[in-house]
Amino acid sequence: MRRVQSIVAALAVIVMLFSSCERYEPVTESQETAVYSGDFLRQYYNLQCQITKETSGFFPPQAARAFAYVGIAAYEAVVPGIDGAKSLAGQINGLSANALPKPEADQAYNWSIAANAAVAETMRKMFDLNLSEENLQKINQMEEFNYNQRSAEFPLPVAERSVAFGKAIAEALYQFSMGDGGHQSYLDAFQLPYELPEGPNCWIPTGPVAHPISPYWAQCRPFLAVNISETQPPAPKAFSTDPQSEFYDQAMQVYNQVTNNSAEEIEIAKFWADDPFKTCTPAGHTFNIMTQLLEEVDASLAKCAVGYAKLGLAENDAFISCWVSKYEYDLIRPVSYIHQYIDPSFQTVIGTPPFPAYSSGHSCEIGVGEKVFTEMFTNGDGNYDLSDRTGLQYGFGIRHFTNFSDMSLECANSRFYGGIHYPMDNIEGLETGRKIGDNVVNLIQWPTVD
């Protein structure tokens, strides 16, 4: 009988041991942001790329702005969990130090849940009136899935408090965004009425779109004022139809390049143009590269949030800065000039986008990408073995680079190979972008994260 009792007791102990193995102690204290995976944030950016393609009114400036606010929302939702990190409130233009909600003192939060709520809410707000029901459901499903995955090990009050904090961040940022000049600009991307300047040097339509995109975008509020005031390129070469002039030479360079393009150069032009019909814009391509890089280094939530916020700030300001020079000089596109003064049968490799030439938006935005990637993923030399696979899904090959400056230079040159930009557009655009990238990396106090 004692033997039976002993066996029963031993079994009871074993059962208790195993059942305690299956139980977990609910986490009741805030953990550092760096302990969470950043995978879900990368999934949101993939989704945002897809939504950008499918939502009307999201041209490059509008898309860059939306990517930016989502990145800032992610950062602000997790910044309390990064040791020594500073909020962007008080650091960026127009956002005062107390403009954003703060977590309650002595209360536990899950920063992953907070970021999930902040990002989903900001995405809904950025696409808002033009967001399709299908894409709204995708955001909602992703948010719910992430919440269910993350909330299981946390007491309900912690999870709910984290959601409330994330949504409060999103709402405060949305209020801030409403005053930046780009609010719901997807409803009126052409900002009509706009009177086209007239003159032989001036932009004229190059396709069925009779009006240039967002002619007043330069009036939008940048995140750093110096990104506009200190980054403007010099005036373009003086317009001239004289075959001996520097301007004519710029056009002739385009003409000669396009008529002698190699197969590789045509491929490069098309690869960076992304797609003739559907694209999540050049900024979206650069965000796709960021997403790939973050995956390759298995980035934590902290690193992902910092990365998307940095790139977002820089991309947003890149398009504002670039749009300043585009509409200040209102320069005629190469195709229009060449048709009139060199060869009326000239055909570009890719379509010319509907806005003035100088400087190049692609070059400007990839310039900021180069600087942000170099700072985040290298020791400062820019060396990185990058295989850009972002075009595979659209039938492009993989492009390899060993340095981020090679990547940005190829992107800038692609507009020359494509016949849609003069060489000076790309050189100056790239320079502007690099300055903006440096500003965002250096003038804002970012935390050091792994």
Note the residues at the interface with another protein (CB under 8 A): 39-40, 43, 46, 50, 53-54, 134, 137-138, 141-142, 145, 149, 205, 207-208, 270, 275-278, 295-298, 344, 347, 351, 385, 387, 389, 392-398, 400
Q: What is the Cα–Cα distance from 447 to 310, expressed in whole angstroms?
A: 11
Q: 51 vs 224, which CB is nearer to another protein?
A: 51
How far is Cα 412 from Cα 421, in angstroms, rounded to an integer? 9
Nearest to 217 by CA among 183, 244, 241: 183
State the minimum distance, in angstroms, from the CB of residue 274 to another protein: 11
Within 13 Å of residue 326, how many CA atoms lie on the same side as its CB?
A: 32
What distance in Å separates the CA atoms of residue 212 and residue 57, rounded to the nearest whole number?
Answer: 13
Q: Tokens 């298995």 correspond to what residue? A: 298
Please state, in angstroms and rounded to a whole number, the distance separating the CA atoms of residues 421 and 356: 10
Toward another protein, which CB reaches closer, 84 or 276?
A: 276
Residue with Cβ nearer another protein (51 or 364) = 51
> Which regions of 253-337 does DSSP assign to beta strands (E)?
none
Least gap, CB of 141 to another protein (angstroms): 6
Q: How far is the CB of 202 from another protein (least distance, A)?
A: 16
Give 18 or 394: the residue with its C-beta nearer to another protein.
394
User: 86 or 138, CB closer to another protein?
Assistant: 138
Determine the Cα–Cα distance for residues 68 and 74; give it in Å rounded to an integer. Answer: 10
| 49 or 322: CB nearest another protein | 49
3-state secondary structure of 388: strand
Closest approach, Cβ 145 to another protein, in A, equals 5
* Longest CA pairwise span in the chain (Å): 113
Tokens of 372: 């942000």
Distance in Å, CB of 337 to another protein, minimum:
14
Nearer to another protein, 54 or 328 (CB): 54
Cis peptide before 359 (omega within 30 of 0): yes
Kindly state the smallest distance separating residue 37's Cβ from another protein, in Å. Answer: 11
Please, what is the minimum distance in Å from the beta carbon of residue 394 to another protein? 6
